Amino acid sequence: MAYSLAQLQQLIAATYDVKDRRRGVEGTFMWFLEEVGELAASLRGRNTLAQSEEFADVLAWLATLANIAGIDLDKAVQAKYGLGCPGCKQVPCICDDKEKP
């Protein structure tokens, strides 16, 4: 089953919200960073299954943080990237390579 970003955020809330709120933003952010580190380590290897699992973990912990902070990820992404690049408003981005993103 495919999930939209909103559905994923709702699934994570339904599954983990009580635990996540007890842990709080700071504790949850530490878990998120740990998962980002695991993703970084997996990207050095060639195990695509491990990489896939770490990408999923990072996304799930990001959704958890958004839930605790009261942020609707779907709306946030639409507001920031709905018109394309936040800098040049183009798809694909035509910003100078020295600029972010």
25: in domain: yes
Give residue 39's domain range.
Answer: 5-70
**Phi, psi (rounded to 5 degrees) for 86:** -65, -25
56: in domain: yes
Name the pTM for this structure: 0.90
61: in domain: yes
Q: Tell me, what CATH number does 32's domain have? A: 1.10.287.1080
The answer to whether 64 and 94 are in contact (CB under 8 A) is no
80: in domain: no
Helix (H) or strand (E) holding 99: none
CA distance 18 to 1: 25
pLDDT in tens, the chain (101 residues): 789 999 999 999 999 999 999 999 999 999 999 999 999 999 999 999 999 999 999 999 999 999 999 999 999 999 999 999 999 999 999 999 887 76
**How many domains would you assign to the chain?**
1
